[in-house]
């Protein structure tokens, strides 16, 4: 660096200026009042572990919008599909537990333990509120040769591994549901994984797979559009939206299985933050707009707070341990 004698005095004064600025900065920090941080201070990110357009995605987006209205800060939904939800679940678990990153989990998180090659312990996430319950279904293309569930299952039984059934990811709810159905009826399916319920449904519509086990609500659009046919529902009672579709029970198969969806946060998120979030969700699910949305689209409504959700998850773990390992879905 060339030293110009004419520049020297300026250099020294500039040096002084910098030192002064630094000192001022440090002093300001020492005396600056710490603003009481009122949660939420900024936008909240909600991680959805499946592709956009599926059940979890749509419900969460609607919920997020209502929560935003009552929290006063943006609530942004982000999709992180993959691994049947595992990718997204992991993302939630490793996020900073400050309440600004939350997500949605389903009972897939517990199913993974017994049905997938890797899993995240559900205790790594702190439940906020369970807000939905949906049964599995059996959906085929509209022009498929099977008009009833019996016809479809008979074909599948006679042709082991030939019937391809799509799901929203390996080890996730619809995969296990299909496997469970298979074991109860003595059928061997080939399970084809997709990133979410939406692509899984589209695959049936396009004729690339023979059936899907995702919930009726998630194939509603394509059914209305005349591309798919719902053959049976895995619930106790018939769905009001699909009145003419029998349950599996009615068809003689004791198959009742479905998903629940729960808003969660990373494990160590402060209790007050969780309480605030739970409150926000409670207000949102009681909003008539939400109820209307859920009913119109065929999504089941349910509600459980943090403690009850945790209890349900613990119970699920015990139940799944009994029925899922026998399906042989776990690879290692």
Partner 1 sequence: MRNNDSVSTLFCLCLGLMFVGGGLKMGLGPLNAPGPGFFPAVIGGVLSSLSAALFVTVSRKKGPPERENFWRQKRSWVKVFPSLLSLFFYLAFLDSLGYLLTTSLFIFFLLKFVGKKGWGASILMAVIVSLGSYAMFRMGLGVLLPKGLIHL
Partner 2 sequence: MESLAGLFYGLGITFQPQNLFFCFVGCFVGTLVGVLPGLGPSGALALLLPVTFALPPSTAIIMLAGIYYGAMYGGSTTSILINIPGEAASVVTCLDGYQMARKGRAGPALGMAAIASFIAGAISLFGLLFLAPPFANFALKFSSPEYVSLILCGLILVSFLGSGSRLKAFMMGALGLLLGTIGTDPIEGMERFAFKIPYLMDGLGLIPVIMGLFGISEILANLEEEEFRGILTEKIKNLFPTLRDWKDSAWPIVRGTVLGFFIGVIPGGNTDISSTMAYALEKKVSKHPQKFGTGIIEGVAAPESANNSGPSGSFIPLLSLGIPTNSTMALLLASLMIHGVTPGPFLINQNPDVFWSVIASMYIGNLMLLALNLPLVGLWVQVIKIPYAYFFPIIFLLCLLGSYSIANTVFDIGVMILFGIFGFLMKKYAYESTPLILAFILGPMFEEHFRRSLVLSFGSFGIFFERPISAAFLGLAILLLAVSLLGPLIKKKQFEIIP
Residues that bind partner 2 (CB under 8 A): 43, 51-53, 57-58, 61-62, 64-65, 68, 74-80, 82-87, 90-91, 94, 116-118, 161, 164, 169-170, 190-195, 198, 202-203, 205-209, 221-222, 224-227, 293, 296-297
Q: How far apart are CA 309 and CA 224, in angstroms?
A: 33
CB of 149 or CB of 263, closer to partner 2: 263
Alpha helices in 138-250 (DSSP H): 149-158, 173-185, 197-205, 216-224
Q: How far apart are CA 208 and CA 139, in angstroms?
A: 13
DSSP codes joined into one string, 49-110 = SS-TTSHHHHHHHHHHHHHHHHHSS-EEEEE---GGGHHHHHHHHHS-SSSSEEEEEETHHH
Tell me which of partner 1, partner 2, none is bound by residue 206, counting a contact when its beta carbon lies within the kind-specific cut-off of 5 to 8 angstroms.
Answer: partner 2
In the complex, least distance from residue 245 CB atom to partner 2, rounded to whole angstroms: 19
CB of 34 or CB of 307, closer to partner 1: 34
In the complex, least distance from residue 34 CB atom to partner 1, rounded to whole angstroms: 9
28 to 87, contacts with partner 1 by CB under 8 A?
28-29, 32, 42-43
Q: What is the side-by-side strand order in the sheet with 301-304? A: 75-79, 44-48, 101-106, 258-266, 125-135, 301-304
In the complex, least distance from residue 84 CB atom to partner 1, rounded to whole angstroms: 13
CB of 65 or CB of 121, closer to partner 2: 65
**CA dihedral angle for residue 201, residue 204, residue 205, residue 208, rounded to 10 degrees:** 130
The residue ranges that bind partner 1 (CB under 8 A) are 1, 7, 10-11, 14, 17-18, 22, 25-26, 28-29, 32, 42-43
């Amino acid at each position: 660096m060339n030293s110009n004698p004419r520049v020297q005095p300026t250099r020294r004064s500039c040096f002084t200026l910098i030192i002064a600025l630094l000192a001022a900065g440090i002093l300001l920090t020492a005396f600056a009042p710490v603003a009481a941080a009122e949660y939420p201070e900024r936008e909240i990110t909600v991680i959805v572990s499946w592709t956009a357009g599926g059940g979890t995605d749509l419900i969460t987006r609607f919920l997020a919008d209502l929560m935003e209205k009552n929290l006063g800060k943006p609530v942004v939904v982000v999709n992180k599909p993959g691994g049947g939800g595992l990718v997204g679940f992991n993302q939630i678990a490793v996020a900073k537990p400050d309440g600004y990153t939350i997500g949605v989990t389903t009972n897939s998180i517990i199913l993974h333990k017994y049905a997938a090659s890797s899993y995240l312990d559900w205790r790594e996430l702190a439940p906020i509120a369970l807000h939905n319950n949906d049964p599995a279904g059996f959906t085929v293309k509209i022009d498929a040769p099977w008009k009833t569930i019996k016809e479809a299952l008979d074909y599948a039984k006679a042709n082991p591994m030939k019937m391809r059934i799509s799901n929203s990811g390996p080890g996730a709810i619809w995969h296990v549901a299909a496997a469970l159905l298979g074991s109860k009826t003595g059928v061997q399916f080939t399970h084809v994984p997709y990133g979410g319920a939406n692509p899984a449904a589209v695959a049936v519509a396009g004729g690339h797979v023979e059936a899907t086990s995702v919930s009726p609500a998630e194939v509603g659009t394509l059914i209305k559009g005349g591309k798919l046919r719902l053959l049976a529902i895995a619930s106790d009672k018939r769905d009001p939206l699909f009145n003419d579709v029998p349950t599996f029970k009615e068809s003689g198969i004791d198959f009742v299985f479905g998903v629940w969806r729960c808003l969660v946060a990373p494990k160590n998120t402060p209790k007050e933050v969780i309480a605030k979030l739970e409150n926000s969700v409670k207000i949102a699910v009681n909003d008539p707009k939400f109820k209307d949305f859920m009913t119109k689209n065929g999504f089941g409504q349910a509600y459980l707070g943090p403690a009850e959700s945790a209890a349900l998850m613990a119970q699920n773990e015990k139940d799944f341990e009994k029925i899922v390992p026998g399906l042989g879905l776990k690879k290692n």
